[in-house]
Amino acid sequence: MKRIAVGSAPRRLIWIVLAGGLAFLAYQVRSVLPPFGLALALAYLLDPIIRWLAGRGLSRLAALAVTYLTLGGGTAGLLLFLIPQLLAQLTELAADLPRLIWTLEALLTRLEAGYTRTPLPEAARQAVDQGLRDLERTLVQGVEVALAGLGVVVTTAFSLILAPVIAFYLLRDIDRLRLSALDLIPEQARAEVLGLLREIDAVLGAFVRSQLLIAGMTGLVSALALFALGLEFALLLGLFIGVTNVIPYLGPILGAIPAVILAMAESPGLAVKTVVALTVIQQLETAVLQPRVVGGSVGLHPVLVIFAVLAGARLAGAPGVLLAVPVAAVAKVLLLYLHRWWRAGSRG
């Protein structure tokens, strides 16, 4: 059968159309993508460990089995230790919620009475009143979003269960999948494409591993600090602080809110101590952990990070916030590559 030759320009057009079609398809089925995204992230994190074990004489499948058994056993042991305490704290929190709400309402009533008796210029009082109304509206919207987000818990749990299964098959066949992907790249461009992918891998790997380490350390230290202060539900609050810490800039603020509210329900003095403790932890993370652990692995200016986070929130909500920095880091690698390519072409 005679093969039809296709010129470079039509070939590029075909690739652009295919890429556009795949992007459109991904958008249409975006609701089913989270477990696959988690599976890719898990496979990305575990592949170096499996390759290291395979290099010590184990087969790929045996290395995969050892990794999964170790990870599964460690996770099960941790859950057996943590879940009873978390459930106990959640049960206690649910039972104590009416008292906490009543205490907060009484505190707000006292603050309102003190504010009413304080002599203020009319313009200043109007500005304060408007600020309080805005705060009330924001809090109500936050509660509505939190209640609406309860359904996300079920979806997240499903993703967490399904992701390791998908990741297992990806890790088992990863070499064959890589070879299939290489076949799609023209032979004369493979070395350049592989070099670019190695740059992206280095940036993403350093970012993901360092952020997970920092989040875990911050959550643990926060839980210990809250426990030392005598705040109830310290383990639960520390876990929440660690999870939200992966969100750049906004995460520490979001993570501290429940702890400060619960401390305020106990006493204003405990709330002040909680704010001071969490602020000190955050400053130590920023000044010590971030430079030492993350260093210059991503190399993004803080202004670019803030812009990426806000843009991610606008485009994709909570997932966009989480993915904003790694996507921006990959975009930086691609832009630097295009810049090098353009300069090389202009010299030629």
Instruction: Read off the pLDDT of each residue in 298-310 and give the average, rounded to a whole number.
Output: 77
CB 245 within 8 A of CB 255: yes
Rounded distance between C-alpha atoms, residue 206 and residue 298, angstroms: 8
Helix axis angle, 250-266 to 234-244, nearest 10°: 160
How many angstroms separate the Cα of 9 from the Cα of each of 4, 15, 182, 188?
15, 10, 21, 17
For Cα atoms 67, 202, 330, give the angle at the middle one, nearest 5 degrees. 115
Whole-model pTM? Answer: 0.58
CB 243 within 8 A of CB 219: yes
pLDDT at residue number 2:
47
- What are 37-65's pLDDT values in tens digits? 888 888 888 888 898 998 888 888 999 99
Q: What is the DSSP string of 146-181?
A: HHHTHHHHHHHHHHHHHHHHHHHHHHHTHHHHHHHH
Q: Hey, is 287 helix, strand or coil?
A: helix
CB 231 within 8 A of CB 263: yes
pLDDT band for 1, please (50, 70, 90 cuts): very low
- What are 220-236's pLDDT values in tens digits? 999 999 999 988 788 88
pLDDT at residue number 225:
94
Q: Hey, is 5 helix, strand or coil?
A: coil
- What are 77-130's pLDDT values in tens digits? 877 877 777 677 667 767 776 776 777 677 667 766 776 777 767 777 777 777
Q: Give the residue, 309 or 11, on which the prediction is more confident.
A: 309
* Six token digits for residue 210: 């360092």
Instruction: Enter the DSSP assignment of 31.
Output: G
How many angstroms separate the Cα of 73 from the Cα of each of 78, 79, 82?
9, 10, 14
Instruction: Read off the pLDDT of each residue in 178-193 and give the average, rounded to a whole number.
Output: 80
